[in-house]
Amino acid sequence: MWFLEWLETTSLAVWMQSSAYAFPAVEVIHVLAITLVFGTIAIVDLRILGLAGVERAYAPLADDTLRIVWISFVVAVVTGLLMFISQPVTYVNNSFFIAKIVLIALAGVNMSVMEFVISRTRDTWGPGANSVPVAGRVCGAISLTLWTVIIFCGRWIGFTMFQIPNF
Amino acid sequence: MENFAISLSETALSQMIQNSTWIIPAVQSVHILAIGVLFSSVLYLDLHLLGIVGRDSSLAHTRDRFRGWVIGALIVLVATGTLLIIGEPARQLLSAPFWTKIVFLIGLVYTLVWGFRRLAPLEAGAAFSPAWARPYAFASLFLLAGIVTAGRLIAYV
């Protein structure tokens, strides 16, 4: 807890708290980044599930798209951290914030299983709705579900952080 | 506009939304998911136009793969957006960022229609890197970012 209280006093945190434009600007970039994280992950997941883009083999599509996923994810994490340090103790006490972080971690585990275990045969997953093995499709479904719930949790943080609802 | 906002806020639907704790955040969340679909679709097509992604597939395929999602996402955005306006009429209709967002949205729809029209005759397998790719990509992404920015600023201004 003392670490969180210390974080709140750093000059970066104070800037986030006191500047009129810092928090809104960071939040806007965060929203742009998370919509891209969700949207690009959805492109890959929908391909895995055979619901979209099935004329294309899996590997080139995944390679193209996952680049964008990582870049947007990094931006989302950096902007998220900046918002976090403005009120660390309050965020840590918000159930939706905790839920969001836990779910993101789970999504990371799910993605690692997909990338490092199941994807060993990815070069054989050609065009067609059923080219991705069942295990991969389970990961894809879990991923899409988790990230949808993560977006909902994120929105609910804004509604539950303050006494007066901040939409 | 003020009178319209007031009378909207007195409708049964508006009252129901206002008195609920979960409808607005839920509708906003769906709104955000649809932005995700729109943003990633527009970005992906733009990147393929610029030759940065999709080298193994044809531009015609990318166009066809994303067109339905772009249209669907825009429909969901208008529907959820309408619900949000009905739920908080004054907050949207009397907001400068809100109207800025609408202007940008009209610009985006025009740009997307313009781009898809030019891509329409393209056949599978045809190579295509037009001179208008860069300005089109810039315009579509700038307008999209502008919509999202203005949308978020509704809460602050």
Prediction ipTM score: 0.93
Q: What is the pTM of this model?
A: 0.94
Q: What is the pLDDT of residue B50?
A: 94
Per-residue confidence band for A112, with pLDDT thresholds at 50, 70 and 90: very high
Interface mutation target, options B44, B52, B154, chain A, most CBs of A under 10 Å: B44
Burial string for B30-68 (b: 16+ CB within 10 Å, else e) reads bbbbbbbbbbbbbbbbbbbbeeebbeebbbbbbbebbbe
| Contact call for A167 and B149, based on CB within 8 A | no
Q: Report residue B108 as tokens.
A: 């985006």
List CB contacts (< 8 A) between A76 and chain B. Answer: none
DSSP for residue A13: H
Q: Quick check: A167 pLDDT over 80?
A: no
Q: Which of A36, A158, A5 is nearest to B40 (CA)?
A: A36
| Contact call for A35 and B153, based on CB within 8 A | no
| Residue corresponding to tokens 């719930």 | A149
Nearest to A167 among B35, B148, B155 (CB): B155
Average pLDDT, rounded, for chain B:
94
Q: Work out the number of other CB atoms within 10 angstroms of the CB of residue A64.
A: 22
Q: d(Cα A122, Cα B43) in Å, to the nearest integer?
A: 25
pLDDT in tens, B40-90: 999 999 999 999 998 888 999 999 999 999 999 999 999 999 999 999 999
DSSP character string of B81-144: HHHHHHHSHHHHHT-HHHHHHHHHHHHHHHHHHHHHHHHTTPPTT-----TTHHHHHHHHHHHH
